[in-house]
Structure 1
Amino acid sequence: MSEQTVLITGTSTGIGLEIALGCARAGWRTVATMRDPGRAERLRDAADSAGVADLIDVRRLDVTRPTAVDSCVAEVMSAYGRLDAVVNNAGAGHVGTLEQESVDEVRAVMEVNFFGVLHVSHAALPHLRASRGRLVTVSSVGGVVGQPFNEAYCAAKFAVEGFMESLAPLAATTGVRVTVVEPGAVASEFVSNIDIDAEAAIAAAGVYGPALRAYLARTGQAFAAAQSSADAAAVVVATLADPAPPVRVQTSDAARQFVGVKLADTDGGAVARLTGGWLA
């Protein structure tokens, strides 16, 4: 793997950090990007402890800025001469509902979680085609099952899933394998970074207040038994090494069971009963 290069977005914490470490341990030249490289200390310390610091190259990248994406990919090609894999991991959580937020807020969620993925993939694909490489995108079970108070986030992840599922067979004709990875609840900073004041949000939710209280209580229980970031990342690293990777892969049994409800639910009733139960 020492000559193979992978570019990973969103590596300052959580799954992204663990993917970067896992790739470096597997021998990949790992370009670990993040919006603020000032937050790279945890990754660098972990890489030092794992003895892989020489394989990790931290670079600045804001995936919502197309010119920055193009420049970053060009710099990677200049530095290493090849790009064998991309892992779209950068993203942002969001809790809210349509009546109580602006369309601009929804648009901002789409910019990070959907268009950011497209910017990186668009810039990388010609190089991945040259290397017959891999395009892996960290989606979510929320990209399969719509969830109350997650309309904008799920919409973005649904869009990612639809785009990549549509792209996969076409990319395969040129030797590029496309995969979406679907974690469920993961113990990472992703949820805490949403930065919601629960009681203030419930008070401001008006008619939706009781449902939001029930939803937040259920979500807290789900994340109390969450999968570790390292375990979720291990699935991504294994997918990169798989000679015949799937188009869709979940990171845990719980995630497989959850998305399985939707994939077998032709009339939508099972999902409505499942997620509606969260609001009681």
Structure 2
Amino acid sequence: MSTHPKTVLITGTSSGIGLAAAVAAAQAGWQVIATMRDTGKADPLRRAAAEAGVADRVAVKRLDVVDAGSVTDCLEEVLAEYGRLDAVVNNAGAGRVGTIEQGTLDDVRATMEVNFFGVVEVTRAALPHLRASKGRVITVTSVGGVIGQPFNEAYCAAKFAVEGFMESLAPVAATVGVDVTVIEPGAVASEFVASVGVDVPAMLAAAGPYAPALQAYIDRTMKTFTQAQTSAEAAAPIVESLTAEKPAFRVQTSDWAREFVAAKLTDLDGSAVQTQTGDWVR
């Protein structure tokens, strides 16, 4: 029997929720495999782990979720070095702001690739090992995976797809002893927002007939992010789901997120959500 502590692989740990989750999981006693596409960006994570006194429980490895070979290689390394895999946290993702008329299908495909197909690839590859350990799959989605949001068509489509995939997988995985959970953050003050790479003046200048709606959306979004959760606050439910005896399938990370998604669950004809999000663009 392996003497290693329980091992969790977390994707997208160079910043934001992934970084915070990696440190918090290590503090909770887990051996953390902190993965990122570019390990040259690992210094902030290493510093945070050292400051928390858990540097010895955080191992940085390269994993690009859109590269099947990278996923396979990383998992093989983990099994060779630690002998087990007890959980996967699908956190890697990228935002996409814009409306479809002014984008391309390649933009949409790229957004789906990292936010949806990357999650599918990592989960598919990890499941044999998680079956062996009776482990769990935890996936960071978004309130945008429950309620579609203006100028986030591609991103929300990807997150809706993840939610549907995981909701469908959960009862099947349970038959072989694997728990599945989705984590739904709202606004989080992290580098994810900056990583969207939006040049607001240029976007507005190119928005044409959508400019008034886009300006209203941007104004509303900026106000929301002034009251955003910290990455550590959003990461806490991830660690709770790792350590819970029986984790919930769906977990929101704040009271705001719970109230926001609750509206969808009773909105049978869609009118309440459309009224709410319509107000964001006028």
Q: 2:275: which partner in 1?
A: 273
Indicate the RMSD between aligned Cα atoms, in angstroms: 0.9
- Which whole-Å CA distance do the structure 1 matches of 2:115 and 2:207 have between them? 25
Cα distance in 1, alignment partners of residues 192 and 16 from structure 2: 7
Describe the SS at the equivalent of 1:265: coil
CA shift for structure 1 position 263? 1.2
Q: Which SS does the other structure have where 1:31 is aligned? A: strand
1:217 corresponds to:
219
CA distance in 2, matches of 1:275, 1:27: 41
Matches within 5 A, 1:186-265: 186-265=188-267
Q: Find the counterpart in structure 2 of residue 17 from structure 1.
A: 19
Query: 72, 83, 86: which is aligned to 1:84?
Result: 86
Separation of aligned partners in 2, 1:261 and 1:218: 19
Q: Secondary structure at the match of 1:274?
A: helix
* Counterpart contact for 1:2–1:28, Cα < 8 Å: no
- Look up the equivalent residue of 1:196 and give its one-letter code: V
Deviation at 1:236, TM superposition (A): 0.4
Contact 1:180 1:248 in 2 (8 A): yes
Matches within 5 A, 1:40-55: 40-55=42-57
Q: 1:8-28 CA deviation, whole Å, 9 max, x = no partner?
A: 000000000000000100110
**TM-score, with normalisation over the residues of structure 1?**
0.99
Distance in 2 separating the partners of 1:117 and 1:74: 18
Match for residue 94 of structure 1? 96
Matched, 1:120 2:122: yes
Q: 1:4 aligns with which of 3, 6, 11?
A: 6
Residue 136 of structure 2 is aligned with which of 131, 134, 137? 134
> Secondary structure in 2 aligned to 1:245?
coil
Q: Tell me, which stretches of 5 or more residues in structure 2 are unaligned?
A: none
Name the CA distance, whole Å, in 1 between partners of 2:172 and 2:228: 35
- CA distance in 2 between counterparts of 1:46 and 1:215 reads 34
Q: How high is the TM-score relative to the length of structure 2?
A: 0.98
In the TM superposition, what is the alpha-carbon distance from 1:238 to its structure 2 partner? 0.5
Question: 1:250, 1:242 → 2: CA distance?
Answer: 15
Partner amino acid for 2:128? P
Partner of 2:31: 29
Match of 2:63 among 55, 61, 65: 61
Contact 1:128 1:134 in 2 (8 A): yes
1:138-153 matched pairs, under 5 angstroms: 138-153=140-155
Deviation, 1:90, is 0.1
Amino acid of the structure 2 residue aligned with 1:46? A
Structure 1 unpaired stretches of 5+: none
Distance apart, 1:2 and its partner CA: 5.5
Counterpart residue type for residue 64 of structure 1: V
Q: Secondary structure, in 3 states, of the residue corresponding to 2:267?
A: coil
CA distance in 2, matches of 1:104, 1:43: 32
Using the TM superposition, give the Cα deviation of residue 200 of structure 1 relative to its aligned residue in structure 2, in angstroms: 1.1
Question: Moved runs in structure 1, 4+ residues, more than 3 A?
Answer: none
Task: Indicate the SS of the match to 2:126.
Answer: helix
Instruction: Describe the SS at the equivalent of 1:146.
Output: coil
Q: Distance in 2 between the 1:194 and 1:123 partners? A: 28
Contact 2:112 2:158 survives alignment (8 Å): yes
SS in 2 for 1:21: helix
Give 1:244 shift: 1.1
What SS is found at the alignment partner of 1:166? helix
Aligned twin of 1:170:
172
CA contact (8 A) 2:4 2:82 kept: no
Pairs within 5 Å for 1:102-117: 102-117=104-119
What whole-Å deviation, never above 9, does each CA across 1:11-69 have from its counterpart, x for those lacking one? 00000000000010011010000011111111101111111000010001110001110
